[in-house]
Structure formats: C-alpha cells, structure tokens
A and B are shown apart, each in its own frame.
Chain A
Amino acid sequence: MLGEGILKGMAETARNFFGSYVDKDRLTTVQYPEERLPQIEATRDFPFLVYDGTDWEQGMRCVSCQICEKECPPKCIYIAKSADKKPDATGKPQFYPARFDIDISVCMSCQICVEVCPFDAIKMDVDFELSTDNRFGGLLLDKKQLSKSNEYYNKIHPTEAAAVDAALADERAKAEAKARQAAEAKAAAAAPVAASVAGETK
C-alpha cells in the first residue's frame, strides 16, 4: 500500500543488474561468432563421406551400392557407379562412385542414409556455417567436397567413431583369420597329397 511491491521489484532488478557483472548465470548471452556454445555429440547437419588413411580417392569407404540413394526421402543423393573396381581399405576390389552429389538445399538431415549404409561410408557432419554466394550450384556438394577423413569423424563424433572403428577392425580381423585358416587348410590339403605323391613315387 505504500509501494513496497514496487520496491521489492526494484531490488530484484538491481540484483540482476549488478549480478550480471559478477555472475555468469545472470548474463547468459553467448556472443556469436566470437564465442560459440559447445555442440552435443549427437548433433547432425548434412552428410559427408568417410575415407580411411590419407588418400581421399583411394581410402573412400563408399562402394557405390546406391542403397542410400534409393532410401533418401527427398532424393537429394545422385550416384554414378564406376566402370572399374579398385581395392578398398581391406584389399578387396570394389566398385567406387564416379559421381556422388548431395544437394544440401534439399537434404532434410533425416540420417536415413547413415542408418542404411552397410559400409559405414556416409556419416553426419556438424558444420552449419555453409552459406554461399553461388545461388545455382553453391549448395550442390560433389564427391571431393563431401570427403572427409576418419580422423575428422573421430573428432566430431568420438564415441560413434570409436564404435565404428572397433567394428571395422573386428571384421578385418575375422576376414584375416578366415583367410589364414583357408590358406592353412589349402596347405594342409596340399601337404598329404604331396606326401602321398612322394610316397607313391618312392
């Protein structure tokens, strides 16, 4: 009745004013672009192609199976398969994409291409500062622009990349073990034959 409500309000605003100089909670502004809020690990923006090693053309995991092209809802991926094969990271000869275009003005970041890829070749990037001044082709990313290294993938999605690396290493180990077993079996099969042949000729 004597204005004590107003005075209480003014005390609160004064506390806010002086508190904003000492307390981080009372000044929550993040001055972009000098400061940036840290992104959580599951952030996703647009896809990119992963390559192992240092050569982006040789180490690319994509074998041009075109599953992501078929599954993409707005059909923003365009793949042209190559005519020849090249050895992939494990040495087995595979097709590779001669063209791999993603139109990121169409892409809706649904991550379906990532979910269906059997080769862990396409993953989601976190970069959002992608504005360009080329209205007609600036947002159509080609194979070279989309390729980023496995080290980069480990940097942006550490736990995911670690799991993928472990799975791939597992597969590689199993393939090697099988190959060794097959080689041993062949050697064992060749050895008795050789022994019997040697025994026969004696």
Chain B
Amino acid sequence: MPETIDQIFVLLKHWLMLHVPVALQPLCSAILSVIPVLLVFPLLFAITTVLERKGLGRIQNRYGPNRVGPFGFLQPMADGIKSLTKEDIIPRSADHFVHFLAPVLLVIASFLVYAVLPIGRNMVVANLNAGVLFFFAVGSMVELSVFMAGWSSRSKYSLLGAMRAIAQMISYEMPLVLSSVVVIMAAGTLSTVEIVNMQATYTGIFPHWYVFTPWGFTGFILFMIAATAESNRCPFDMPEGESEIIAGYYIEYSGFKFALFFLGEYLGMFATSAMAITLFLGGWAAPLSVLTWVPSYVWFFAKLLALIFVFIWIRGTLPRLRMDQLMNFAWKFMLPMSLINIVGAGIWHFMPAGFARWLIVSLIIVLSCVLLSRSLRRSKLFHARVYRFAS
C-alpha cells in the first residue's frame, strides 16, 4: 500500500497512456510529464510569496497580509489580478522586441531546468545522462535574460542594475558549479536520478546523504550561498536593491511582465534549492529508514519547504551586501573554499573509512575557512595619493 501511494502519479500516467493511440503516445507522454511541473511550481510560487510576506512580517514584529482570504492566504490571487489589470508601459526609446523577450526567456529558462530534477521515486521528466550539466547550462540563460531586460529598457538605472546583476551572477556561477563537483566526484555520475539513488541507502537507520560528510556539508553551505546569489535574494539583492534603485534591471517593466520576472526569480530559487536537495540532501529519500513509508514526493517537498523557510529566514536577518563586498566574497572566499573542498573530497575518497579521514578532512576545511576569512578581514592599506600632472 505505501508503494502504491508512493507511485500513484506514475501509475496514473501509465493508466492514462493506455487510452491514447500509439501514434500519439510520445507526445502525450511528454505532455503528461510536463503538466504537473507547470501546475505545481507556480502554485508553490504563489504560496511562497504569501508565506514570505507573513514570515518577514512576524520576524519584524508585525502581521503580514491578513485581509484577503483566511489569514491572508488568498493574497497571491489579489496580486495576480492586480498585475494582469495594470497597463503595460514600454519606454518609447526601448527596444521593443528584446524588451518583450526578456521576461519570456527568463520564464522559459526557469521552467526548463525542472526537467532533470527527480521529484520522487521514478518521477523525473527527463532522465538525462548529463542531468547536472544540463541544469547548469540552462540555468545560465537567466543571466542572458537579465542583461536583455536591463539593456533594452534604455534607462540608466536599469542598465546599472543589469550590469551589477550579471557581474554578481557570473561570479557566483563558479562556486555554484564547483561545489556540486564534489558530489559528482563522489557519485561518479552526472545523472541526477543516479545521484539520488546512491543517497537513498541506509546504514542502520541513518541515511547516506552527502550532507552528512565534512566535504558534503561544506559543499552544501557553499551551494546554498551561491544559490542565494544566483536568485538575487537578500543578502545578495544589490541588483534589485528595493530601497535603492527600486527595481534595478526590471524598473521599466509594469504589470504582467513584472510578475513574470518575479515568477522567474522565485522559480530559479526553487530550482537551485531542488538541485541542492538532489545533490546533498538525498532528493526524495527519507531521513531515517523507519520513515520510508511516507511517499517520496512528500519528502521532496518537505525538504524544499524547509529550504524556502531558511531563505526567508536569512532574508529577514541579514543586511544587504555592498557590490564590492559581494564580489570579494565570491572570488576571494567562495572560490578558494570550493577548490579546497574538492581537494578534501578527493582525500576522503582515497583514505580508508574511519575516524582519521573525518578528522583530516574537517581540519583542512575549517582551517582554510578561518584563514581565508581572516585574510578577507584585513584592512586595506591606504597610500598617500600621488598626482602625476598636478604637482
């Protein structure tokens, strides 16, 4: 019985496919796989917007929205109706074609990456051999759409926001990919389904998730920080800078296109969280072997919701990083840390199992973290200015 509930969506799809003529079966199979993604993740986006506003409100000693629906949970409907009925303003000197395409491209890129994420046992849209590579390749399309938005709006502020945004996103791509390399090394495969299957085994009641190893834990932290920066979320939301340049690269967008940017950004956040869950937190696997009777997709979404709460929590806690602090952090701390993490994972792989490898790898990682952060904190020395022509 638990297996039936676990596989209920797969069985439902197979049953529906029996009623489809053979010629149309590939097309219908594709459509039936894709429709749940298109329904569930925008719904999750709607719930997340209201949860975020209420969560931030409670952190800031106030109620969140509580007028629309019970405890304000129909607020996304009100927001959706508002964004649909707003006038679509395009600056006269804007590049209309690119201006229109930018949010479309963002949403396409954000939806496309869900194809390789296993939501449950046997529940993945496309079981690619190089799933992780596909994820990062398509995820980079987001930066392109950000720049399209900033450039086509023909406005100084949006261009400035776009430049900052792509600088930030490209800088944080490196630690993002490098911290996932450790998992690829340990699993020996680029396929997301295989990675999760390898983590779904247990010794006693404890699972084999990669986050429970020193290099996995570090990789997870680095991946989450880079994911926060990739989605332009606090504390890395300098490009958006709600209180500074109002909306940054999407300042000239109104109405539904603005809602599409919002949707694209949140979907990117869900996608990178889901990838973190797949790589480090065991995907759809249960945390204790006694809990495997709970369906796999329930575990996946529980972990996703936990990570979303952590995102909201961090947003309510930390102030925004300045642009130079952000870039220094990426290049001088995260990149060396992720490289050292790879070295640590390699040492782990070649040492025999036991206390020794835990100690050595943990020491390497902690020591390098402390030393790197100390070097970041060193104050800059200011020299006396020398003017070449005005003597």
Chain B residues 23 to 62 lying within 8 A of chain A, measured CB to CB, are 55, 58-62
With contacts A2-B366, A10-B313 known, is A16 near B59, CB below 8 A? yes
With contacts A1-B373, A2-B366 known, is A10 near B62, CB below 8 A? no
> A9 — which chain B residues lie within 8 A by C-beta?
317-318
Do A17 and B62 touch (CB < 8 A)? no
Chain A residues 2 to 19 lying within 8 A of chain B, measured CB to CB, are 2, 6, 9-10, 12-14, 16-17
Chain A residues 103 to 118 lying within 8 A of chain B, measured CB to CB, are none
| Minimal beta-carbon separation of B189 from chain A (angstroms) | 32
Main secondary structure of the interface of B (DSSP, over half): helix
Do B370 and A13 touch (CB < 8 A)? no
> B59 — which chain A residues lie within 8 A by C-beta?
13, 16-17, 20
Do B314 and A10 touch (CB < 8 A)? yes
Chain B residues 332 to 349 lying within 8 A of chain A, measured CB to CB, are none
Q: Of A2, A6, A20, which is within 8 A of B317 by CB?
A: A6
| Minimal beta-carbon separation of B322 from chain A (angstroms) | 16
A29 at the interface (CB under 8 A from B): yes
B374 at the interface (CB under 8 A from A): yes
**Residue among A13, A21, A27 facing the most chain B CB atoms (10 A cut-off):** A13
User: How many cross-chain pairs have Cβ atoms below 8 Å apart between A and B?
Assistant: 45
Alpha-carbon distance between A20 and B61 when the two chains are bound, in angstroms = 6
> B61 — which chain A residues lie within 8 A by C-beta?
16, 20, 26-29
> A14 — which chain B residues lie within 8 A by C-beta?
313
> B314 — which chain A residues lie within 8 A by C-beta?
10
Do B317 and A29 touch (CB < 8 A)? no
**Residue among A1, A16, A29, A31 facing the most chain B CB atoms (10 A cut-off):** A1
Do B369 and A20 touch (CB < 8 A)? no
- Range of interface residues on chain B? 10 to 19
Do A29 and B62 touch (CB < 8 A)? yes
B206 at the interface (CB under 8 A from A): no
Closest to B319 in A: A9
B63 at the interface (CB under 8 A from A): yes
Q: Of B63, B317, B318, which is within 8 A of A27 by CB?
A: B63
Do A31 and B317 touch (CB < 8 A)? no
With contacts A9-B317, A27-B63 known, is A2 near B58, CB below 8 A? no
Do B58 and A17 touch (CB < 8 A)? yes
> B373 — which chain A residues lie within 8 A by C-beta?
1-2
Do B317 and A10 touch (CB < 8 A)? yes
| Minimal beta-carbon separation of A61 from chain B (angstroms) | 45
B65 at the interface (CB under 8 A from A): no
B316 at the interface (CB under 8 A from A): yes
Do A1 and B63 touch (CB < 8 A)? no
With contacts A10-B317, A13-B317, A29-B63 known, is A2 near B55, CB below 8 A? no
Alpha-carbon distance between A16 and B61 when the two chains are bound, in angstroms = 7
> A31 — which chain B residues lie within 8 A by C-beta?
63
Chain B residues 295 to 337 lying within 8 A of chain A, measured CB to CB, are 313-314, 316-318
With contacts A1-B370, A1-B374 known, is A6 near B62, CB below 8 A? no
| Minimal beta-carbon separation of B12 from chain A (angstroms) | 38
| Minimal beta-carbon separation of A34 from chain B (angstroms) | 11
> B369 — which chain A residues lie within 8 A by C-beta?
1-2
Alpha-carbon distance between A16 and B316 when the two chains are bound, in angstroms = 11
Do A13 and B313 touch (CB < 8 A)? yes
Do A17 and B374 touch (CB < 8 A)? no
| Minimal beta-carbon separation of B384 from chain A (angstroms) | 32
Alpha-carbon distance between A14 and B55 when the two chains are bound, in angstroms = 10
Chain A 30-69, CB-CB to B under 8 Å as 1, else 0, gives: 0100000000000000000000000000000000000000
| Minimal beta-carbon separation of A138 from chain B (angstroms) | 28
Name 7 interchain pairs, CB-CB below 8 A, sorted by A: A2-B369, A6-B318, A9-B317, A13-B317, A16-B60, A20-B59, A21-B58
A-side residues, CB < 8 A to B, are 1-2, 6, 9-10, 12-14, 16-17, 20-21, 26-29, 31
B-side residues, CB < 8 A to A, are 55, 58-63, 313-314, 316-318, 366, 369-370, 373-374
What are the 9 A-B residue pairs with the smallest beta carbon separation, nearest first?
A13-B317, A20-B58, A9-B317, A1-B373, A17-B58, A29-B62, A13-B59, A17-B59, A1-B370
